[in-house]
Every structure is written in structure tokens, then in C-alpha cells.
């Protein structure tokens, strides 16, 4: 943590239907400096009751549970106005795509390793820092970016598009790109109301900069307004995001766009 950052203390909910696994998860979470209060639940119904009472910052969630499973519970959480960060903790390595499609911050495999759990907690903390305005000005939220020991503040208003880069996100602006240790899913959730939309698993775009959608083969690309003499940026649009993109553009009366 940087000296200028306010410490974050998390209230977390651990959910697992197997008591030994739940006890171990709660014990390992209690060893993390950023974790304060820990709630536990052995099924999705109990977990939902706790979550609806509010105050939970993150859920560490098993997938394979009787009744409502972990993925289904996460789907319910996407409807929450203020939803907690979701970290899946599972013995199954074949559900990661589904998990991240639901906006998961991380996906941990059992048996848990201390260092891997610590990394997940750091990701949750990073997401919360994004969710808290770093500065109140006319340009909105800013993101601190560190490079060579120097911290630069990148204004959200200057970000044209965001690219997933492994466990990081790359913010593209007119002056260059900046790699930040924040999952693209966290930025998607935080910036949706500011006019950013996910168009692909790897891309998040600023809707006011969209000038068109163009068909390419069996798919399509979205075109962003160029900077000066620079060529226009074109990014792929996945099929699952295409309809949502078109709907959002239609609902924006001042947005000029065409489908070709």
C-alpha cells in the first residue's frame, strides 16, 4: 500500500457447504491484514439472507453446492444495486469462463494456497479503491497509475477504451496507455453509469466516442473517434455483447453512429 492510500478493512462472507472447507477458508481469510469481520454460510439461502442485510464487501464462494449453486448465486448478486466483489473458491477448473462472465474478481482452486488467497484479497481491495472516487472534480473519477516509482493520476474522462491484459487492465487515452492492477470486470461495474460498455471479453469502450459499427466477416467491430490525425480505432464486438451495444447506442439520441 502506498503512503497516501487509506487502509481498507474488508467485511467478507465465506460460503461453502462442506464444513471443513468453510472453516479452513474462514481461518485463512482471518490471517489477511485487510480482512476484518468474517461471516460464514453453508448454503446459498443463508448467504443471500446475510447479503441482503448489507455491509458485505466481498464473497468467497464455492461453486458446487446443493440447491442454488455458486454461479447461480453470483447471478443473483449481479442484480444488487451495490454488489460485493465475488471470488470463486472451487475444486473445478472448468468453470472459470462462466465465473468471469459474471464479473468475478478472481477464481481460486482448492486446495487453497496462502499466497494465492492473499492475491485475491489484494484484487478485492483494488476494486474497492476504484469504487471510491479518488478526487472530486469536473472530470470525475481518477485512477492512480504507478510507473518507475512515480504516481500519475489518469482521469476517467480521458480514457477512451480499456483492454484486458491478463490480470490487469490497460487504460487507453489520447496520450498513451497505462497498465493498472485492476480487473476489467471491476472497471466495467464501476464505469457503466459513466458511459462505458463492455463490447468484448477483452474490451470496454467509452460510448460517446463510438462513431460506428462495421460488419467484418461473420462478426463486427466498433469504431471509435480518432485523435487528430491518428487513424480510427476499431475493436472487435463479441456476439453476446453486440445487441447490448446497439441498444445502448439507439438510446443515446445525441450519439451519431451507423451500421455498415
Segments making up each domain of the chain, as ranges:
10-130, 142-251
Say if residue 255's pLDDT is above 50: no
The pLDDT assigned to 82 comes to: 80
Could you report the per-residue pLDDT of 202-233, keeping only the tens digit for each? 999 998 888 888 888 888 999 998 776 677 88
The pLDDT assigned to 258 comes to: 40
Is 10-130 CATH 3.40.50.300? no
Higher-pLDDT residue of 214, 36: 36
The pLDDT assigned to 135 comes to: 38
Q: Where are the beta strands (DSSP E) in 82-202?
A: 85-90, 106-109, 142-147, 150-155, 159-165, 168-173, 176-180, 196-200
Equal fold, 10-130 vs 142-251: no
Alpha helices for the chain (secondary structure H): 19-30, 44-52, 70-77, 96-101, 114-131, 184-191, 239-250
CATH superfamily of 142-251: LytTr DNA-binding domain (2.40.50.1020)
CA dihedral 104→60→125→163, nearest 10 degrees, is -10
Burial (0-12, 13-18, 19+ Cβ within 10 Å), 43: middle
Q: Per mean pLDDT, which of 113-117, 123-127, 177-181 is the most reliable?
A: 113-117
Considering the chain, what is the average pLDDT of its residues? Answer: 84
Q: How confident is the model at residue 95 (pLDDT cuts 50, 70, 90)?
A: confident
Amino acid at each position: 500500500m502506498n503512503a497516501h492510500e487509506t487502509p481498507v478493512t474488508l467485511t467478507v462472507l465465506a460460503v461453502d457447504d462442506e464444513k471443513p472447507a468453510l472453516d479452513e477458508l474462514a481461518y485463512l481469510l482471518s490471517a489477511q491484514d485487510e480482512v476484518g469481520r468474517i461471516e460464514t454460510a453453508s448454503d446459498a439461502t443463508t448467504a443471500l439472507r446475510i447479503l441482503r442485510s448489507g455491509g458485505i464487501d466481498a464473497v468467497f464462494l464455492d461453486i458446487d453446492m446443493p440447491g442454488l449453486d455458486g454461479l447461480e448465486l453470483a447471478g443473483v448478486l449481479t442484480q444488487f444495486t451495490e454488489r460485493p466483489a465475488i471470488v470463486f473458491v472451487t475444486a473445478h477448473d472448468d468453470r472459470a469462463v462462466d465465473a468471469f462472465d459474471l464479473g468475478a474478481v478472481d477464481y481460486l482452486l482448492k486446495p487453497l494456497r496462502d499466497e494465492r488467497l492473499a492475491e485475491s484479497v489484494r484484487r478485492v481491495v483494488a476494486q474497492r479503491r476504484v469504487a471510491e472516487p479518488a478526487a472530486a472534480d469536473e472530470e470525475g473519477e481518477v485512477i492512480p497509475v504507478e510507473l518507475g516509482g512515480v504516481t500519475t493520476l489518469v482521469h476517467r474522462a480521458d480514457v477512451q477504451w480499456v483492454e484486458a491484459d491478463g490480470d490487469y487492465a490497460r487504460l487507453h487515452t489520447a496520450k498513451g496507455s497505462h497498465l493498472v492492477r485492476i480487473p476489467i470486470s471491476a472497471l466495467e461495474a464501476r464505469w457503466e453509469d459513466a458511459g462505458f460498455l463492455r463490447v468484448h471479453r477483452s474490451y470496454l469502450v467509452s460510448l460517446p466516442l463510438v462513431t460506428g459499427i462495421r460488419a467484418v466477416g461473420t462478426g463486427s467491430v466498433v469504431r471509435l473517434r480518432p485523435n487528430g490525425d491518428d487513424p480510427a480505432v476499431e475493436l472487435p464486438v463479441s456476439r453476446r455483447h453486440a445487441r447490448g451495444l446497439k441498444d445502448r447506442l439507439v438510446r443515446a439520441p445525441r450519439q451519431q453512429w451507423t451500421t455498415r
